Structure formats: structure tokens, C-alpha cells
A and B are shown apart, each in its own frame.
Chain A
Amino acid sequence: MRPPPSVGVFATDSFLGTQGVICMVSGVRQPGVAVSGAAFDASAAREGGIITVRHLSKTYTFHRQAPGLRGAIRGAIRRQTESRLAVDALTFSIQPGEVVGLLGPNGAGKTTTLKMLTGLLDPSGGEVRVLGYRPFERKTEYLRRISLVMGQKTMLWWDVPAMESFYLHKEMYGLSDALFRESLDELAALLEVEDLLQVPVRKLSLGERMKMELLAALLHRPEVVFLDEPTIGLDVVAKDRVRSFLADINRQRGTTIVVTSHDMDDIEALCSRVMIVNHGHMVYDGGLADLVQRIQPRKRVRATFAVPVEVAPDAFADGLVRVLDPDESDSGGNVLALEVEREALGDLLSLLPRLGPLVDLAVADAEVEEIIRDLFTGAAVTESAITGKEVAR
């Protein structure tokens, strides 16, 4: 049920009138450049989604207090109230069956967005519709069609077997005996936890507990599942099991999944589409592969030779290939690390065997984690990132 990856669109702030585009991509505004703050509206064309969000904003009000006793007294007598725009005019829609990753650095606004989508927070502005409902009204009919899994907050009773919590969910979600049993058996088999249903939750490992959380969250067959850091704290085996389970659920049931995670492996394994938020703005909305190609269009080539090889600095004078710093693990000069434009990859691969006896060759895109990190910090972002021609580093 996963739809094809959509074309990625960067949020852009126009500046200086007729010069048109573009000075801000990563969400880290470039110093000294004026930006208009225009709302991102690129995905408005995708109408009629299972989730539709238009110009969604959230402003938090908080009290500021100076440190120390004097600050505490002054704060108690006269409070300084300030407000912070956490989410700024987000607009997007999500189609049924999509798996969308909501990414951003800490404080970017992604969890606030997730909370507004699930009805935990009342938006300050704009509109949200999920399955046709306004989430904040928290109608029973709405809550029975969605699910929220928070990696750091449990919905299971701690001292009793998870089965007790599942019985509670049966009543909360109004499930018939037959549907409950069928759903329970199916999910327990998929997660391989049939033997753990009668074990007190406090006796389970973290990975087993997360499986039980997912089981509880999916018992009522929600149409939309919101996941907040679903693999946090899990070991690699448990992470892999959780990811493949979620992918199976999406494929078999057509469940729409919105996931926030700081683990890029989660995103790569699950998401056909990513939305990157920073400073409350939408920075990017599109396919993950497209994001990689736009930010880091060059391929990474790592060639290992049987003998040390030397490459002259001007060996690739056309600018299509760049020699990277030697690999730390290569003490003998046997490894050549290169970055190459995609169109020049074929020529490079035919050239490499002529440099020496080749024993290993690896070609890869840049690491997604690296791309995202650069996006968050602004390191990889220039105007050319939008056009996809060249990325300054």
C-alpha cells in the first residue's frame, strides 16, 4: 500500500523582490539575509488526504525568570511573560497508506505538530483534520480510529501481564470478542510474543515491552498511527523487529503511519516520505532518495587496491570527481576514496582498474544521517541545493 515516493519540495523564503529565490533552505537562516517568512504551501496540491493541515501554528506562552534568589523574588512579584512560536504555518496533507517521517532537531516543532495531530494540543492558528475530525475535540469516534505510541511513555500496567491492558483496550475501543481475539492472535504472531502475554510487564525486556506497546496500540486496527520515537533505547535486533513489524502492518492493513525519530535507520526502513521541520517551518517535504540526491548528489566510491596507489591532485581535472581524505583505516595507501558526479560514475569505474590491481569496490550515496545533520546545521545548504547542481561543503 505504500504510494510511490513523491517529488521533494524545499521550503523557500523569497527575498529581495525580483531576485526571486532563495536564501534559506535548512531552516537555519543565513546571517544578514532578509527573509519574508512566507508560508510553505507546496503540498497544498495534494488535496483530500487522510490528514490535512493548513497554516497550522502553535505559540507557547511561558514565564521567564532570572537566576538566583533576586530573580525568584522578582519573578514571583512581577512575572515576565513571553511567547514562542513553536510551529509556524505548516501546510501539508498525507494520503491513506503513506508512511511519513517527521524529522527535525530538538525544539524544531515536530513533537508539537504530532501533539496537534493527535489532539493533545489545541492549535493557536490554522486548521487540522485527521480522518475528517478536528483532533482537539477528542471525540470518541476519532480516538477509536487512531493510535499514539510514545516510545518513552507506557500505556501498559506495570505490575500485571500485558493481557490485562489488552482487555482494557478491548473495552475502551468497543471491540467484539471475535475481533479482539483475531486481532490479538494476528499481532502476537507477527511480533512473536505469544509466550509473553501472561508475563508481568515489569519482567519484560525493553524490546519485549515495546512490542507489547505496539500490540496494544494496534489491537483496534487504527487507520492512522502516530509514533513518537518508537525504537528509542532498543538494541539493534529489537529495532529491526519493530521496523519490519510496522512495515508489515502498513503493507497488510494499509495503515497510515506518521513517525518521529532521531534514528535515521527508522526513517530509511519505514518512510516513503519525509517532512523536515526546523524552527517551526517546513524545510523539506518529499521522498528520502530525492532529498539525498538534492543535498548530496555525488556518489561515494571507495576502491581498495592490492598495492598502494597514488593519484595526482589534477588526475580528475574536469571537476566531476573529487579525491576525499584518506580513510583512517587505510594506513598503507591501498584505499582510494572519491566523490563523483552521477553522470561520471561509469567513466570512473572503468578508469579505476587501470590505477592498480583492484580487490574491492564500493559505491554508495551519502549517509542519510549525514545529510540530515547537515540540513539541521545548515552546513550543506546553499542556493545550489535547491537547483541540485552543486553542493558546497
Chain B
Amino acid sequence: MSLMEILRVIRRLVVGGIAGSLAYPGDFAFYMLGTIIGPIIAAFVWRAAIAAGADLPVDADYITTYFVLLSLVTMLASAWLSVFMADTIRDGRLNVWLARPGSYLYEIAANNIAEKVVKLVILMPMIAIFAWFVRDSLTLDAAPWRWGALLVSTAMAAMIFFWLDVAMGSLGFWLEDISGLEWGRSLLTGLITGQMIPLALFPAWMQGFLHVQPFRYTVSFPLEIVVANLSTQEVMTGLGVQAGWTAVFIVAGLSLWRRGLRSYAAVGA
């Protein structure tokens, strides 16, 4: 298929995905409520700690702005397809895709985009309400180029998570069940992405590791661009490192997917 044909297929998949998602608006509202509740609680806990005199390496403005933007970046960067993908492989539904001129990867990518469009529409008003309540220490006056860099960085973070999910889901070609692995992955990434606790609040001796590991670039780094007032040099270097990690995850995901397909063709489903 030509690139234009692939893009037309993905566009149609996105349209169908949005239409399908809108069949369950209530479910999505609850998902988004779940996405924003954590950051709201965390913001109020850390703000209370600072108000009580806790000695933290960041101030209340940092904490507030970080957690207000966190649910947005987390949602835009996230992927949730590995378990579905493994199920599709295991129960043979993949056959329907393999017999048609369009990769299953187009379907899951389009599904990811479509659901994010719907989630964004639902999440934005919630974030606005949260922001209004904490407006006293919310700092959103970063330079426009920082917001642009945040968008680019979030897009790369989404690529990292997407291809990580493809890699994890592809394990379904060989494993009966990946839910245990998925649980472990969620726990690990929750901790070292900055999703539960800003990486700046971890002990100093951990900072070296936290700065180089790839998961910093899925949540924390995009937020740091706006919140932590990184220098231009630090932002550019970070984006370069993030691009490198993105490439690594694309190669890993594609390799496992292709190897899996060969294995699938050898043993059947």
C-alpha cells in the first residue's frame, strides 16, 4: 500500500474508533475521573506538606502546576493496548486482520488516537475546574516555545508508550497470559515516570539513574520543560535523548511484532 493509502485507512480507522468510543460516553467520563483524581489528591497532599513546613526541593507553584498538567500529559502519552493485543493474538482474531490488506498495527494506533480525542474532550473541563481551585499557585506563563517543546515531547512520549505496548502485546505470540507482566510494568512505570511522585522529589542519590532511564521521558521530562524551567540547552539535549529512546522502542516493538508474526505463522492460532 502507498503512504497515502495507509493514511486514508488510518483516518477511516480513527473515525470509526471515535464513533465506537462515543457509544460509551459514561464509561469514558469515569475513566477520566479516575485519571484526574490521583493528581488532585497528590497536589493537595504535597501542598499541605509544604504549608506545614516540609523541606522539599520544589515549591508549591511547581507542585501545583505539575499536577494540574500531569493528567493531561499522562492521558496523551498513555497506551493501554498490550493486553487487548495479546488477547487478539491468542484467540485468533488476528487472522481477520492478516487476511486483509491493512496491518493490525494501524488498527491499534488508530484506536489509541481515537480514544485520546474523546478523552481529551471529556478531560479538559475537569482539568479546568481543578485549575480554578488551585489558581493561587498555578504558573502557566512559560514562554510559547516551551509549550511547543512540551507538545513535541508529549508526542514522542506517546510513541514510546505505544511501541512499548506493541512489544509487550507481541509477547502474546509466545505467552499464554501477559497480565502479570503488564501489572509489573504498570507498577514500575507508575513509580519512575513521575506519574505518582515528581522525580524531583526522589532522593538525590537516585537522581542520576532517574535522569537517564527511558521512562523519565514519558511523563516527567515533558512536564519539566514547562514546570522546572529547564535551560534551552537542557531542553534540546533532553529532546535528543528522548528521540533516541523513541527509536529504541520503535525498533524493539517492530522486531518483536515481526518475529511474533513469523512464529504465529509457524504454529497457527
Residues of chain A having any CB pair with chain B under 8 Å: 60-62, 112, 115, 118-122, 136, 138, 140, 143-144, 146-148, 150, 153-155, 157-160, 164-165, 167-168, 170-174, 200, 226
Q: B266 — nearest CB in chain A belongs to which residue?
A: A122
Contact B15 A164 (CB under 8 A): yes
Structural contact, B96 and A153, CB atoms closer than 8 A = yes
Q: Check A143/B268 contact, CB under 8 A, given A157-B20, A160-B19.
A: no
For the complex formed, measure the closest distance between the CB of A194 and the CB atoms of chain B, giving whole angstroms.
21
The answer on a CB contact under 8 Å between A172 and B102 is yes
**B40 cross-chain contacts in A, Cβ below 8 A:** none
10 sampled A-B residue pairs with Cβ under 8 A: A119-B98, A120-B95, A120-B99, A121-B265, A121-B268, A148-B96, A153-B92, A157-B19, A157-B20, A165-B16
B5 at the interface (CB under 8 A from A): yes
Q: When chains A and B are docked, how far (Å) is the Cα of A150 from the Cα of B91?
A: 13
Contact indicator B100/A172 (Cβ below 8 Å) = yes
B95 touching A115 by the CB < 8 A rule?
Answer: yes
A145 (CB) vs chain B CBs: closest residue: B101
Q: When the two chains form their complex, are residues A136 and B265 in contact, meaning their CB atoms are under 8 A apart? A: yes
Q: Is the CB of B268 within 8 A of A112?
A: yes
Contact check, A143 vs B99: say whether CB atoms are below 8 A apart. yes
CA distance A118 to B96 in the complex (A): 11
Whether the pair A155, B96 counts as a contact (CB closer than 8 A) is yes
Are A173 and B101 in contact, with the CB atoms below 8 A? Answer: yes
Asked whether A138 lies within 8 Å of B98 as measured between CB atoms, the reply is yes
A168 to B12, CA, bound (A): 6
User: Shortest CB–CB separation between residue B105 and chain A, in angstroms?
Assistant: 14
**Given the complex, which residues of B lie within 8 Å of A147, measured CB to CB?**
99
**Is the CB of B185 closer than 8 A to any CB of chain A?**
no
Contact of A174 with B5 at beta-carbon distance under 8 Å, contacts A112-B268, A159-B23, A200-B23 already known: yes
Chain A residue, CB-CB nearest to B5: A174
- Chain A residues, Cβ within 8 Å of B93: 153
Candidate in B9, B19, B24, B101 with the most chain A CB atoms within 10 angstroms: B101
Contacts of B266 in A (CB 8 A): 61, 121-122
- Whether A144 touches B20, Cβ cut-off 8 Å, given contacts A112-B268, A171-B12, is no
Assuming the A-B contacts A122-B266, A143-B101, A159-B23, are A150 and B12 also in contact, with contact meaning beta carbons closer than 8 angstroms in the complex? Answer: no
Q: Report chain A residues within 8 Å CB of B98.
A: 119-120, 138
- Cα–Cα, bound, A174→B12 (Å): 13
| Closest chain B CB from A97 CB (angstroms) | 21
The answer to whether B12 touches A159, judged by C-beta atoms less than 8 angstroms apart, is no
The residue from A61, A150, A154 contacting B267, defined by CB atoms under 8 A apart: A61
Neighbouring A residues of B267 by C-beta, 8 Å: 60-62
CB distance from B266 to the nearest CB of A (A): 6
In the assembled complex, how far is the CB of residue A201 from the closest CB belonging to chain B, in whole angstroms?
10
Task: Give 1 or 0 for each of B6-19: 1 = CB within 8 Å of chain A CB.
Answer: 00110111011001
Given A159-B20, A168-B16, A171-B9, the answer on whether A143 and B95 have CB atoms closer than 8 Å is no
Contact with A along B99-126 (1 / 0, CB 8 A): 1111000000000000000000000000
- Which chain B residue lies CB-closest to A167? B12
Docked pose: A118 CA to B92 CA in angstroms: 14
The 8 Å CB contact of B95, one of A150, A160, A170, is: A150
| Minimum C-beta distance from B265 to chain A (A) | 4
Check if A150 sits within 8 Å of B5, measured CB to CB: no
Given contacts A115-B95, A143-B101, A164-B15, contact A120 B20 (CB under 8 A): no
> In whole angstroms, how far apart are the Cα atoms of A167 and B14 in the complex?
12
If A140-B1, A144-B101, A168-B16 touch, whether A154 touches B96 (CB-CB below 8 Å) is yes
Please determine whether B16 and A118 come into contact, CB atoms closer than 8 angstroms: no
What's the Cα separation between A171 and B102 when bound, in Å? 10
Contacts of A122 in B (CB 8 A): 262, 265-266
Report the minimum CB–CB distance from A285 to chain B (whole Å).
24
- Residues of B1-47 at the interface with A, using a CB-CB cut-off of 8 Å, are 1, 5, 8-9, 11-13, 15-16, 19-20, 23-24
| Residue of chain B at shortest CB distance from A172 | B102
Cβ distance B202 to chain A, nearest Cβ, rounded Å: 37
Residue on A nearest B91 in the bound complex, by CB:
A153
B13's partner among A60, A136, A168, A173 (CB-CB below 8 A) is A168
Whole-angstrom CA separation of A386 from B141 in the bound complex: 89
Given contacts A158-B20, A174-B5, 20 further A-B contacts (CB under 8 A): A61-B266, A115-B268, A118-B99, A119-B99, A120-B95, A120-B265, A136-B265, A140-B1, A143-B99, A144-B101, A153-B96, A155-B100, A159-B23, A160-B16, A165-B16, A170-B12, A172-B9, A172-B100, A172-B101, A226-B99
Chain B residues 151 to 167 lying within 8 A of chain A, measured CB to CB, are none
A382 to B11, CA, bound (A): 60
Which residue of chain A lies nearest to B95 when distances are taken between CB atoms in the complex?
Answer: A120
Interchain CA distance A189-B96 in the complex, whole Å: 25
Bound: A164/B11 CA distance, A: 12
State the CA gap A6–B16 with chains docked (Å).
46
Q: Which chain A positions have C-beta within 8 A of B5?
A: 171, 174
How near does chain A come to B132, taking the closest CB pair, in angstroms? 34
